[in-house]
Structure 1
Amino acid sequence: MKDVRGKAVLITGGAMGMGKLWAQHFAQDGARLILWDVNEKALKETEGELKAEGCDVIVQTMDVTDREKVYKTVTELEKKYGNIDVLVNNAGIVAGGEFLNTPDEKLAATIDIDLKALMWTMKAVLPGMIKKGAGHIVNISSASGFVGVPFMLAYTASKWGVIGLTESIRLEMKELGHHGILFTCFCPSYVDTGMFKGARAPLLTKILKPEEVIDIAYDSFINDKYFVLEPWLVKVTPFLKGLLPTPIFDLISDVLGATGSMKHWTGHSK
């Protein structure tokens, strides 16, 4: 099992929700935390809570889509505190609703935050990890990274992209001989964070609680697991999609309620 005591851990979207839960897990194991978020007030509140528990934590207001600021800030952090040992790309938004009725700005922001920003953060921390010969990057994808989900097109596209991005950089690091740099790609179904309010879990599954999701994700990280899918239906989805003809897979998705799961979405986008 991985020992994170004293390791520098950067978590994007670390002030609230699942990002905060990630931070609490790392704090309990003695890591040094750097939390990024656009919500300055929530950052300060989380900082106070963690410091009250004895955690070594730095908080920084950050827009992860601002790649030059991302690069500059990581460079400054490394000069002052040393290389980043772990990166958790947790920040994300959802743009739900009918595609033709969704403002272009929301579609673009979803791709910028949920996919493109991962490239900027990884590009910022990887040189230090390569120099050190060790590091671990956790990218959050989704069950929607395997299937088309109506009424959530940009989010689904971004999560397909996260899987491809993570798989590609993992193989590139391996090909270049950087075997000490590890990756975890976590793909949960709907999580009760508020972002998916109104969404309906497919038949025989449930909306996941953030605490249980992060318990699973953190345990997977600690045990160096690469590809993690939750719950059981997500585990079998890639296999079924690859095995079954498209009309049959579509029929199963319809029967399970997956196709219409976002039809009544009302959740917030941040």
Structure 2
Amino acid sequence: MSINMDVITDISVALGKILYYFLESLLYKIIPKTKKNVAGEIVLITGAGSGLGRQLAIHFARLGAILVLWDINQEGNTETCSLAKENGGEKVFPYTCDCSNRQEVYRVADQVRKEVGDVTILINNAGIATGKFFLDIPDHMVEKSFLVNAISHFWTCKAFLPAMIKANHGHLVCISSIAGVCGINGLSDYSASKFAAFGFAESLFFELTMVKKTEVKTTIVCPHFINTGMFEGCTSKYPFLLPILEQEYVAKKIVNAILEEQVYLMMPKFLYIILILKQIISPKMLMALGEYLGVDTCMVSFKGRKKANELQTETEGKHQ
């Protein structure tokens, strides 16, 4: 009898919490959350030398944050530093760092702690895409995709999360992708690595909640393809449903999600419908939907392969 009562109690508590959080989420849809102040927060952005990382740096500079910019491209990173300062950034610290190299991540992280302080907002944004069909991807580029897009998140979080946990204050931001929740034709290595990044970030969110470090926030971002050099030339058959997103728009949405401490951000909102359909319809129906939306053919005209080929050549040169 006591066992049955325990079961009933557990179910009642669970249902009560589900109802509470459901009503809370509805309330926040009507009344937006109060945005937190990030002035003086130390914000580290990986992949800051161009694209989305650069736009995020500019936005946080305007908000008075202390910026730490990481990129393997020193020239691009220096340019981002200048732009951030032009947009109000008073304290901007650029560092050259190859996020795929664990020892280098730890070394530069130590340098950041000594020269700037403990990072309080970590944005794992660095990413690469080969844009090739599976059998055409060189082995070392498969490894590189995982090292940059997913495994680097382990090293950056190991470097900066302990201080956040100790202070019970911080924010982890994972830039995943639509390819991190739905497999995409022609992006097998990119998609798999972004799935890994999503899973890691979500696991950390639950882990931090379980150990009651609820003031260390998590935001996981899954946008459709962004108009950056990485996805240059990628097109959408029906842009009113799945548009190719502009960097400025995405950066603004991400910053807002961080300020409102949203856990999940998917862009556009039509992605939420696709995810629901993915769970309830057959794979053939999903393929038909993908064909209708142009997702199955978007990589065929992926001019961003030129960028990937340049990266491949550069990487091969380093291996020789």
Select the residue among 165, 189, 192 that pairs with 1:130. Answer: 165
The Cα RMSD (Å) is 1.4
* Contact 1:97-1:265 within 8 A present in 2 as well: no
1:102 aligns with 2:137: yes
Residue in 1 aligned with 2:56? 22
Per-residue Cα deviation, 1:135-165 (whole angstroms, up to 9, x for no partner): 0011001111121111111001011111111
Relative contact order higher in (CA < 8 Å, ≥ 6 apart): 1
How many residues matched?
A: 270
* Contact 1:137-1:184 within 8 A present in 2 as well: yes
Question: How far did 1:166 drift?
Answer: 0.8
* Contact 1:97-1:263 within 8 A present in 2 as well: no
Distance 1:233 1:177 in 2: 33
Structure with the higher fraction of residues in helix conformation: 2
Question: How far did 1:198 drift?
Answer: 2.8
SS of the residue corresponding to residue 82 of structure 1 reads coil
Per-residue Cα deviation, 1:21-76 (whole angstroms, up to 9, x for no partner): 10011110100000000111112222223334442100000000111221232223
Q: How does 1:1-270 map to 2 (within 5 A)?
A: 1-55=35-89, 56-203=91-238, 204-267=241-304, 268-269=307-308
* Contact 1:146-1:237 within 8 A present in 2 as well: no
Deviates more, 1:154-163 or 1:200-209: 200-209
Structure 1 unaligned segments of length 5 or more: list them. none
Return the letter of the residue paired with 1:157.
Answer: A
Question: How far did 1:196 drift?
Answer: 1.0
Return the letter of the residue paired with 1:5.
Answer: A
* Contact 2:149-2:193 within 8 A present in 1 as well: yes
SS of the residue corresponding to residue 193 of structure 2 reads helix
Distance 1:230 1:84 in 2: 27
* Contact 2:97-2:108 within 8 A present in 1 as well: no
Distance 1:26 1:51 in 2: 11
Deviates more, 1:166-175 or 1:201-210: 201-210
Question: How far did 1:233 drift?
Answer: 2.4
* Contact 1:198-1:262 within 8 A present in 2 as well: no
TM-score normalised per structure 1? 0.95
Return the letter of the residue paired with 2:260.
Answer: N
Question: How far did 1:79 drift?
Answer: 3.1
Distance 2:76 2:198 in 1: 29
Distance 1:43 1:257 in 2: 35
Deviates more, 1:200-209 or 1:46-55: 46-55
Larger Rg: 2
Return the letter of the residue paired with 1:208.
Answer: L
Distance 2:77 2:284 in 1: 47
Deviates more, 1:74-83 or 1:180-189: 74-83
